[in-house]
Structure 1
Amino acid sequence: MCNMTSLGLLHFFIVCITLHVFGTVNSLKSLQIHVPTAVMTNQDAELMCTYDLEGAQLYSIRWYRNMIEFYRYVPKESPATKVFPVAEIKVDVALSDQNRVVLNQVDRTLTGEYQCEVSADAPLFHTDIKAAEMVVVEPPLIKPNVTSNRLSYVGGDHIRANCSSPPSLPAANITWYVNEQMVPGFTANHVLNFSNGYASSQATLELEAAALSPVPTLMIRCEATIFDVWKESSNVLVLRERSANPASALGRSFTGAANETRLSTIIIVLLQIVLNMVINTYETSIR
């Protein structure tokens, strides 16, 4: 391809060197960042960065939080690792390298966007950067609580249960369970925000007793979750079915029993009257 008859000597060397460099060193590609979507407060967080330099040498890895650099890895420098003082970020240098950074005991202030920047070495210095969000979770101090407008029911009753999850960061999501079956499509969570950044969650479940299966007991509870790092169940609320007419369950009603009692009393009184008449008649005949 580099022909001396068609090119001048200088041009020849320029073309051949260019083809050699660009033919063997390709651009940086396939950069991927792996940051946990959520992590519990006071736990460690591992941030990963993978890439393909396609034959080039690595020049540097730089990590940023909200575009403020806190970690750098440059293999040609000694030491290769450098940590920058950024508030509340504690890098575990022993566990960090050109592919990962480990943050120790994260707290709520470290919620935000993290960026990984990779640069190839000379002569191209191709650079790419990827970003991902991480949320540091502070769960509620106590479990969610369930209350209801009634503790027993009959067919046709309207049952209204409320679930509240105490303040957390961020607010918890609430799921309902009736007799350990998840209830889909209930009223959406209502989030109450506080000035300190925390938020509590409330949800309402409404049921029509007539539409339920004929089970004499309903067990209602709610479950609060924050991403996939925290989950807690409430107390179980037990509602028992009662009869619309309790006496009928014993074979007769209170009304029927009262009628029978009055009838017996009348019969006894009539018998006493008849008996008195018979005795009076008998005594008169003897005289």
Structure 2
Amino acid sequence: MKGEKAILQCLYELDGDSLYAVKWYKENEEFYRYVPKARPPQVSYVVEGIKVDHQESNNQNVVLKSVNLKTTGLYRCEVSAEAPSFSSAQKEGYLQVIVLPLRGPQITGEKKQYENGDELNLNCTSDKSHPVSTLKWYINENQAPTIFLSNYPSQIHHNGLMSSILGLRMKLTNDHFVDGNLRVRCVATFSSQQWQSNKESILQKIDNREAMLLG
């Protein structure tokens, strides 16, 4: 998560050889090197998004301080042995820095009362996060069909975070109401966690007869 430290680990066996160097790269740009015979053995290079903690780093671990979105990328560890073998090996892995949403998605556009034949026109907007959350609409606990959904481009905020927006557009019929109510719910899914709005929108139906009585 953004602001935390990341521990990158490179485990290896030399099979009797002596270690010459361990080098770390981000997107093919070297940012850390450990050479046991050098003084000092550790050296780091300026690479955007990376701050190496020398006190906690060594020949097998490199610790990155206070990671941010620019720390995200493909990392590679390269291990090489001294003479006479001069053998080397490397492995790579992807690191992604995430920013969790602070609250659930927000529903806008609802009215509190609807009549049979009215148009339901709602928007659901996820909270700021990185990567962007995925939204789903539910109608009376059933996932809304695709034909009722309106997809909008993600909203990009100044700090690199994003919000997704998903609309729900449909014409209401008597079948949509259960005991006079229509329940709609929006769920945002992020990193295998569900961030759900605190409020469900329970929309009250007024059919023609009730409207006449109230009128």
Identity %: 35
Q: Which residue of 2 aligns with 1:132?
A: 93
Unaligned runs of 5+ in 2: none
Measured in 1, the distance between the counterparts of 2:151 and 2:14 equals 47
1:239 equivalenced with 2:203 (yes/no): yes
Measured in 2, the distance between the counterparts of 1:157 and 1:244 equals 11
Q: Which residue of 1 aligns with 2:143?
A: 183
Equivalent residue for 1:85, pick from 26, 46, 62: 46
1:227 equivalenced with 2:191 (yes/no): yes
Quote how far apart the aligned CAs of 1:122 are: 2.8
Quote how far apart the aligned CAs of 1:173 are: 2.1
- Please tell me the residue identity of whatever aligns with 1:124: S
Deviations 1:224-251 (A, max 9, x none): 34435x764334222124444229xxxx
- Please tell me the residue identity of whatever aligns with 2:106: N
Measured in 1, the distance between the counterparts of 2:75 and 2:99 equals 19
Mapping for residues 108-187 of structure 1, pairs under 5 Å: 108-138=69-99, 143-153=104-114, 158-165=119-126, 167-178=128-139, 181=141, 183=143, 186=146, 187=149
Q: Structure 1 residues 169, 220: closer, same or farther in 2, change over 3 A? A: same
- Please tell me the residue identity of whatever aligns with 1:239: L
Q: Secondary structure at the match of 2:10?
A: strand
Q: Structure 1 residues 93, 182: closer, same or farther in 2, change over 3 A? A: farther
More off after superposition, 163-172 vs 57-66: 163-172
Structure 1 or 2: more strand by fraction: 2
Q: Which residue of 2 aligns with 1:107?
A: 68
Deviations 1:41-80 (A, max 9, x none): 2122222233454554433221112222221223344544
- Please tell me the residue identity of whatever aligns with 2:11: T
Quote how far apart the aligned CAs of 1:211 are: 4.8
Give the root-mean-square deviation of aligned CA atoms.
3.6
Quote how far apart the aligned CAs of 1:202 are: 0.7
Mapping for residues 3-82 of structure 1, pairs under 5 Å: 40-82=1-43
- Please tell me the residue identity of whatever aligns with 1:122: A
Q: Secondary structure at the match of 2:52?
A: coil
Quote how far apart the aligned CAs of 1:190 are: 2.7
Quote how far apart the aligned CAs of 1:146 are: 0.5
Q: Which residue of 2 aligns with 1:201?
A: 164
What TM-score do the two structures reach when normalised by structure 1? Answer: 0.57
More off after superposition, 197-206 vs 106-115: 197-206
Structure 1 or 2: more helix by fraction: 1
Q: Structure 1 residues 59, 210: closer, same or farther in 2, change over 3 A? A: farther
- Please tell me the residue identity of whatever aligns with 1:111: T
Q: How many residues align?
A: 208
Q: Which residue of 1 aligns with 2:181?
A: 217
Quote how far apart the aligned CAs of 1:128 are: 2.7
Q: Secondary structure at the match of 1:163?
A: strand
Equivalent residue for 1:192, pick from 148, 151, 154: 154
Larger of the two Rg values belongs to structure: 1
Whether the 8 Å contact between 1:61 and 1:117 is mirrored in structure 2 is yes
Whether the 8 Å contact between 2:75 and 2:94 is mirrored in structure 1 is yes
Q: Structure 1 residues 241, 46: closer, same or farther in 2, change over 3 A? A: farther
With a CA cutoff of 8 Å and minimum separation of 6, indicate the structure with the bigger relative contact order: 2
Quote how far apart the aligned CAs of 1:125 are: 2.2
Unaligned runs of 5+ in 1: 1-39, 248-252, 255-287
Q: Structure 1 residues 203, 63: closer, same or farther in 2, change over 3 A? A: same
Deviations 1:133-179 (A, max 9, x none): 33333456765320245433466655342112355444332233455
Q: Secondary structure at the match of 1:137?
A: coil
- Please tell me the residue identity of whatever aligns with 1:128: A
